[in-house]
């Protein structure tokens, strides 16, 4: 297989893993990519080197801290859910495109939008359903545990995506299947029953 093709496949695997992580927490994977690029461990596609700058690192670190803390404040937790989905899709797309190296812009953006944005959006939707179920079942008292599991999951997925992208792809696919099933169950429960 051609070296560029292998690099694109590895970049896509890492991008999908990072996109799944953005579905759990938007800024954790951006911070991870910034650290990896800044330390020289992650090559970025042309036009995305800004992700590996000190300014980006500082911005993503601050945003990560605020995002994680905000999910422990009940009313803010709900407010963040309204902006988290489009932000996760955008971040998932951006991260996937940034890792596809020498691929043509058409291929990079197509894969970024479909694979990166799609995975991020589905995982975010599944995550929102879990938080909603937690709120309904525990009156909001279980949301702290869910918030902790989400940011820890995002951090683990980010590290694995950067170090072992092909293994992370398997994990991201498993997370995606879980999210699709969760959404399907939620739709079946809320669908009206037709009586004949």
Domain boundaries, the chain: 3-184
Average pLDDT estimate for 37-55: 94
Which distant-in-sequence residues (6+ apart) come within 8 Å of 178 by Cβ? 126
Tokens standing for 47?
């036009």
Q: DSSP character for 140?
A: T
pTM comes to 0.84
Nearest Cα neighbor of 51 from 65, 37, 63, 41 is 37
Q: How confident is the model at residue 194 (pLDDT cuts 50, 70, 90)?
A: low
Provide the pLDDT for residue 119.
92
Nearest Cα neighbor of 168 from 95, 83, 85 is 95
Helix axes 143-163, 118-138, angle to 10 degrees: 160
Tokens standing for 108?
């990079």
CA-CA distance, 171 to 37, in Å (whole number)?
Answer: 23
Q: What is the mean pLDDT of the chain?
A: 87
Which distant-in-sequence residues (6+ apart) come within 8 Å of 20 by Cβ? 92, 119, 120, 123, 157, 171, 172, 175, 176
Q: How confident is the model at residue 3 (pLDDT cuts 50, 70, 90)?
A: low
């Amino acid at each position: 297989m051609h070296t560029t093709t292998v690099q694109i496949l590895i970049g896509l695997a890492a991008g999908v893993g990072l996109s799944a992580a953005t579905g759990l927490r938007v800024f954790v994977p951006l911070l991870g990519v910034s650290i990896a690029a800044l330390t020289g461990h992650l090559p970025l596609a042309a036009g995305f080197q800004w992700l590996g700058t000190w300014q980006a690192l500082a911005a993503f670190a601050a945003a990560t801290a605020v995002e994680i803390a905000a999910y422990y404040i009940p009313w803010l937790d709900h407010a963040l859910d309204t902006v988290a989905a489009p932000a996760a899709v955008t971040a998932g797309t951006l991260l996937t495109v940034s890792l596809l190296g020498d691929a043509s812009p058409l291929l990079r953006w197509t894969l970024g939008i479909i694979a990166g944005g799609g995975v991020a959006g589905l995982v975010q939707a599944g995550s929102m359903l879990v938080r909603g179920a937690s709120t309904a079942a525990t009156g909001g008292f279980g949301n702290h545990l869910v918030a902790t599991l989400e940011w820890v999951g995002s951090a683990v997925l980010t590290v694995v995506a950067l170090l072992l992208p092909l293994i992370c792809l398997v994990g991201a696919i498993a997370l995606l299947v879980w999210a699709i099933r969760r959404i399907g169950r939620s739709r079946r429960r809320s669908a009206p029953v037709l009586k004949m």
